[in-house]
């Protein structure tokens, strides 16, 4: 297993210096923002795995805001999944800098805004400071990726995932490896502070 993390402060700084949300209508701004994302996620591999959006609270404890997964297909690797989320859900970062309401109003005025879904899902990530990711570099099937995601949601209790109630899945060796790897990555972050 391979772990890593990146902070989103460079994106927040970019948002502070560029009040307009990048859009597909403005190719230059979109290209600029895309290059920033590629730089930030350069170490994220094209492998399946899981990722946690979150922050350290005032007490120094990790709080998971959102937990996601990426499968084995090239279009759903960790790198691709995180690149797409950072690009397509960028309103969350602009809302973190300028406020939710002003960004919702600005978003509604975008050309062709009626073609896009309301950004409510995107705004769930407001407040996140970093993303911790874990890639699996050994064979794993899609069902196991999903199974582990369900377990990780129960373990890390992200504040903005859709609730997944029901039967509690049993942890297995892989779950323990994943949990230990994530905890080691979080500990490495706090030792840098």
Q: Where is 12: in which H helix or E strand?
A: helix 9-17
**CATH number, domain containing residue 108:** 3.40.1440.10
Domain hosting 11: range is: 2-192
Q: Is the pLDDT of residue 10 over 60?
A: yes
pLDDT at res. 116: 63
Per-residue model confidence as pLDDT tens digits over 127-163: 899 999 999 998 888 889 988 998 899 888 888 877 6
pLDDT at res. 19: 86
Contacts of residue 179, defined as CB under 8 A and 6 or more positions apart, other chains included, come to 152, 155
Contacts of residue 150, defined as CB under 8 A and 6 or more positions apart, other chains included, come to 164, 169
Residue 45 pLDDT grade (very low, low, confident, very high; cuts 50, 70, 90)? very high
What does pTM read for this prediction? 0.85
Tokens standing for residue 34: 């895309």
When divided into structural domains, the chain yields a total of 1
Q: Is the pLDDT of residue 185 over 70?
A: yes
């Amino acid at each position: 297993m391979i772990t890593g993390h990146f902070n989103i402060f460079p994106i927040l700084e970019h948002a502070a210096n560029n009040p307009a949300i990048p859009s597909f209508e403005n190719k230059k701004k979109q290209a600029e923002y895309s290059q920033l994302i590629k730089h930030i996620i350069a170490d994220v591999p094209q492998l399946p795995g899981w990722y946690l959006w979150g922050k350290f609270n005032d007490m120094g404890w990790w709080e998971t805001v959102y937990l996601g997964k990426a499968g084995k297909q090239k279009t759903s690797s960790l790198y691709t999944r995180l690149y797409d989320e950072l690009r397509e859900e960028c309103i969350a970062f602009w809302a973190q800098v300028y406020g939710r309401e002003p960004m919702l109003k600005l978003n509604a005025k975008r050309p062709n805004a009626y073609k896009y879904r309301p950004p409510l899902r995107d705004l769930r990530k407001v407040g996140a400071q970093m993303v911790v990711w874990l890639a699996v570099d050994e064979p794993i099937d899609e069902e196991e990726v999903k199974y582990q995601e369900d377990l990780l949601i129960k373990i890390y209790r992200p504040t903005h995932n859709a609730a997944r109630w029901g039967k509690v899945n049993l942890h297995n060796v892989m779950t323990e490896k994943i949990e230990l790897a994530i905890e080691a990555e979080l500990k490495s972050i706090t030792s840098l502070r």
